[in-house]
Amino acid sequence: MIESIPLPGINDFDEIFWLNCSNNQLSIQHCGACEEPRFPPRHMCPKCQSIDHKWKIVSGDGELWSYVIPRAPLLPYFEKQSPYIVGLVALNNYTNIRIIGRIMNSDGSNLASTTNIAIGSKLSVGFNKINSEITIPFWFLDV
């Protein structure tokens, strides 16, 4: 049984994303040939098939495109935090990129109520340090 938070595996391909998150910066992969942004990171550009890529730091500001409050059955780690909100965030300036993440209070504490959020709510990115290697982005209401 998984009792702690399941952590993403870091590999040579996405380590820059996780390094930037550990420095409280959100980054998006871009094609090195045609500049097309893409997320999640991929080995090849879906637009021009180039394997060249680079990373750009982005603001992380966006708006709530959709959200859900997960219900039981949950893994034990998430059951302890329930209820919580998971959102699909459409990043500003990137019409084709949406990122899934927790919707929390600006201090990183649990936001358990949807009273103040709605589709289209303006959000800013924050970062939650899990361990020495993993810092996970989350979003909070931009007030």
Rounded-to-integer distance, Cα 134 and Cα 128, Å: 9
* This prediction's pTM: 0.88
Query: How far apart, in whole angstroms, are the C-alpha atoms of residue 74 and residue 128?
Result: 21
DSSP helix/strand/coil, 124: strand
CA separation for the pair 75, 79 (Å, rounded)? 6
- The per-residue pLDDT string of the chain (143 residues; one tens digit each, 9 = 90 and over) reads 566 777 888 888 899 999 999 999 999 999 999 999 999 999 999 999 999 999 999 999 999 999 999 988 888 888 888 899 999 999 998 988 999 999 999 888 888 788 889 999 999 999 999 988 899 999 999 86
Q: pLDDT value at position 37?
A: 96
Cα separation of the two ends of the chain: 39
